[in-house]
Amino acid sequence: MGSREFVRAVPRLDGMVVSAVGYRTAGQRPALHRGLPSPYLTVIFSLDGAIATGGTPAQATGADAVRTDIIVGGLHQSPAYVRQPEHEAGIQLAVHPLAARTLLGLPAAELAGQLVTAGTDVFGARAAEVRERLCALDTWEDRFAALAAYLRQRADRRAGAVRPEVAEAWAWLARHRGAGTLGGLSRHVALSERRLTALFRAETGLSPKQAARLMRFQHAKSAVTRAVAAGGPPDLARVAADTGYYDHSHLVRDFRQYTGVSPTGWLAEECRNIQAGAHGDGEEWKP
């Protein structure tokens, strides 16, 4: 059966990093994993070989797969496919998109054109040195601490110039779990819907409606994950009602868009990962 290890840490980076997960697997049958869309950016430092990804299963498993030791992924609305080899290890971070200027040195919108960007193209050459140091450390505690220190140094050297209207718009959507209306949001930040959408897209790469859908889907996926982790089948009709969907079929449609399969199909693929602790509080482990 092989071995599977997942370790979570409290990022302690002032909310800029939402979650941090260390993973190590060995003796697994090679497979293909769906990295699902979420309202967070993804940063992965591999502690093993290069990670192979693609926008389709054929690309991820073919000669034109994107292969890199450090991954930076922007906000996207379709799955990113990741090849899972027999053994792998790394640290994955979920980064708040409005922290992109501070931690990554660019707005999240600049990452929206492709699913994956090589980390050294974003962080610079020093990121490769940080990765080598992480590989040499013996404990997850030391690895998390070293990575947090590196990110904190980057944050200290940069000012996050996000417009306050965009920051408040994101916070409003998050408070409403993606269930608010664009009209209500525009009135809240005192901007026209058109102006708000333009500013929001320029910062994040998504419109407010697209971000709201991702937030709502994230909450629904978290509820489904918690039910499975607790040992019971999820009540999809209840999940839909509790997370702001019109009905069960509306939830299924969003699942199909963001995962490429139905909720039950996704659970069949991910059940082992969920039971092993890879999906904590809905924050997804992608490799």
For the 3-156 domain, the top CATH level (class) is mainly beta
Calpha distance 267→113 (Å, rounded): 29
- Specify the residue for token string 């709502």: 216
pTM score of the predicted model:
0.91
| Alpha-carbon dihedral 166, 169, 173, 179, rounded to 10 degrees | -120
Tens place of pLDDT for every residue, the chain, 287 residues? 678 899 999 888 989 999 999 999 999 888 888 889 999 999 999 999 999 999 999 999 999 999 999 999 999 999 999 999 999 999 999 999 999 999 999 999 999 877 889 999 999 999 999 999 999 999 999 999 999 999 999 998 776 689 999 999 999 999 999 988 999 999 999 999 999 999 999 999 999 999 999 999 999 999 988 888 887 788 899 999 999 998 889 999 999 999 998 888 888 887 666 655 555 543 443 33
According to DSSP, the residues that pair with 22 across neighbouring strands are 7, 91
Q: What is the pLDDT of residue 286?
A: 36
Instruction: Please count the helices (runs of H) and the strands (runs of E) in the chain.
Output: 12, 10
- Contact by Cβ (8 Å): 280, 21: yes
Q: Give the type of residue at 282.
A: G
Question: Is it true that domain 220-275 has CATH number 1.10.10?
Answer: yes
Q: What is the pLDDT of residue 272?
A: 65
CA 119 to chain centre: 15
Tell me, what DSSP letter sits at residue 280? B
Domain coordinates in residue numbering, the chain: 3-156, 164-209, 220-275
Q: Hey, do 3-156 and 220-275 end up sharing a CATH topology, with the first three levels equal?
A: no
